[in-house]
Amino acid sequence: MIDPSHREELRALDTVETGPSAGRGPPKRAIETVGFRQDGSTFAIELERSEIEHGERRLTLASVRDISERKAYTEALEHQALHDGLTGLANRVLFSAHLSRALAAARRTNQRRAVLVMDLDGFKQVNDTLGHDCGDTLLRQLGARLVAALREGDTVARLGGDEFAILAADATDLEGAAAMAWKIQQACEQAFTIDDTTVDVSTSIGIALFPEHGTTTAELLHRADLAMYVAKRSGHGHAVFDAAHERQAEPRLAHLVDLRHCLAREQLVLHYQPKIELASGKIFGVEALVRWQHPTHGLLAPASFMPEVERTDLIVPMTNWVLSSALSSSARGAMRASI
């Protein structure tokens, strides 16, 4: 039985032509709609209608196919592509899409919007002392606290590592953004409990406003990121972006922001240095050396960025990347060719 609220869709069978027969041979038309089971539950179905000539008669053939498994699989893939696998929150892709739509609406209505970017202070120490499983648990608990502290329509996303972003559901001025930052800080004041261990962490939050601090998704995220590092260095909890952050050469801040995203942007490369046995002169192994192909500063040696990596939570994903890339190169035989 067709769900009564979807019966109007049946009219589309008279106009929608799809599949291999479209434009040639007997017309074939199909739509997706919702059906009722005997127990009252609903499921996704595909209705298909085709027409054939049989002698003097024109016959109509109809079929109904249960596509609930296919729909569930497709929806699961879409959810995976748009959500963070650890916390279940929106990921960077979905957050950017929400922010782009919010900015388009703000332009039409001449309203202000705020973007908040935050991370945990001392997250690396949690990973180092308690282990990465505990670190993951902390991130899940933090995500749940953020959702509980903010309004239902607000977008909370995990951008990567211990970095999160927040977009208010409606127009937000500086006062409203500061209130959101305060709520987040209050939510994180209470200690987290992980495997009977009490963990105290604090947050650093950066705020960027549309349109005064940026008019695009990339600009606002970048400038909120810069403001977050100002908050982290000052110890004040949160900071609002100021043009002086860029003008007065906070190159280290900009460098840190770029460094946090170099993995996602696939800017790291490995060079291999041979290890030679002096007695025989034969190569018996290689040393993998990571380089950063910076879009502005060119190829950077480890000395220019690894000290900062080692002081932050970036050391874990970067180490994993180096190991994974080196093993993949070895398996492909590419390591020998690049020596």
Positions marked catalytic: 162
Residue in 318, 326, 321 with CA at minimum distance from that of residue 124: 318
Beta carbons within 8 Å of 208's beta carbon, 6+ residues apart? 114, 115, 117, 214, 219, 220, 221, 223, 224, 227, 240, 241
The helix (H) or strand (E) run that includes residue 188 is: helix 174-189
What tokens were used for 319? 């180490």
Asked if residue 114 lies in contact with residue 168, where contact means CB atoms within 8 angstroms, the answer is: yes
Backbone angles phi, psi at 29, to 5 degrees: -130, 145
CA dist list (Å): 176 to 173, 209, 238: 5, 11, 13
Q: Rg (Cα) of the chain, in Å, rounded?
A: 27
**116, two tokens:** 């908040």
